[in-house]
């Protein structure tokens, strides 16, 4: 089943997970909300704006997807982090069985 979530950043330049509890997913797609005021990056638990990959704005073409090579793998939304400006949002779509 495919799920959707809206994750709103609670602090500027502070990495936060996509989920606060273990949330398994076979694949994940991220979109930056079109109303955002800043750039959002994604990565692992040691994420900073300098070492993360930018999430393109919604409607701006491709978006980060896990798994990036198209092979189903188990992911945990609690282990994928985003960083940006407080109040900006990331739209998350994910699949889990």
Contacts of 63 (CB under 8 A, 6+ apart): 29, 30, 31, 55, 56
Which domains are present in the chain? 2-95 (2.60.120)
Give me the DSSP letters along 36-55.
-SS--EEESTT--TTTSEEP
Residue 8, pLDDT score: 97
Q: How far apart are CA 89 and CA 4, in angstroms?
A: 13
pLDDT in tens, 61-75: 556 666 655 555 688
Using the structure block, give the residue that is written with the tokens 């936060």.
Answer: 16
64 in Cβ contact with 92 (< 8 Å): no
pLDDT (average), residues 70-91: 87
pLDDT in tens, 12-58: 999 999 999 999 998 888 889 888 988 999 999 999 989 988 887 76
């Amino acid at each position: 089943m495919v799920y959707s979530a809206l994750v709103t950043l609670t602090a500027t330049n502070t990495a936060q997970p996509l989920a606060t509890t273990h949330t398994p997913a076979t694949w994940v797609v991220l979109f930056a909300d079109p109303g955002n005021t800043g750039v959002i990056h994604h990565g692992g638990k040691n994420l900073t704006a300098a070492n993360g990959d930018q999430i393109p704005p919604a409607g701006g073409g491709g978006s980060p997807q896990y798994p990036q090579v198209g092979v189903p793998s188990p992911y945990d939304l609690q282990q994928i982090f985003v960083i940006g400006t407080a109040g900006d949002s990331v739209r998350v779509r994910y699949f889990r069985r």
